[in-house]
Amino acid sequence: MAKLYFKYGAMGSSKTANALITKFNYEERGMKVWLIKPALDDRDGQNVIRSRIGLSQEAFVVPKDMDIVAEFNSNHSECDVIIADECQFLTASQIDQLRSIVDKLDIPVLCFGLRTDFLTHLFEGSRRLFEVADSINEIKTICSCGNKAIVNARICDGKVVTEGGQILIGGNDSYIAMCHNCWKKAVEK
């Protein structure tokens, strides 16, 4: 029986690398993977998923208004598994569509993404995954102090910022993973 998986972590926890390794493992066993990502994530090119360690793959881009079930049934129904990177940027409705694929078509769906934004608030897609996923696993990383990182601190001019829109697409130049204690200390400075 297929499941909906949510594998989350802070920035720099190798979520994308894990997604691409998982894709490789399925394909090595002769299975067909539909690799998807939200259109909002265009930092490495519109249809590319790239990890910090250099792994990359072409991916299908999911616009915010796309019906994922309809797209799957029309063009990807031969796939054995769906892997979604940056799933925090999917809408709650799109997460429900992925849930529907699991339930009605018995296709496993593995979602990789962030839990929270730079102010420690859940993203829409992440919130829905916490509500409906069969399996929820944290991919851990550490703060510079050595403790487990849980905050995606937004950095501007070398300082942690606490203002701005929820979404600012960026990598190591815009965000750093921190433990909550170090983040609070940086915010108080």
Q: Among all residues, which ones are annotated catalytic?
A: 86
Tell me the residue type at 60.
Answer: F
Contact between residue 130 and residue 161 where contact means Cβ atoms under 8 Å apart: no
What secondary structure does DSSP assign to the chain, as a single string?
---EEEEE--TTS-HHHHHHHHHHHHHHTT--EEEEEETT--BTBTTEEE-TTS-EEE-EEE-TT--HHHHIIIIITT-SEEEESSGGGS-HHHHHHHHHHHHHH---EEEEE-SB-TTSPBPHHHHHHHHH-SEEEE---B-TTSSBP-EEEEEETTEEE--S-S-----TTTEEEE-HHHHHHHHH-
Distance CA 83, CA 96 (A): 15
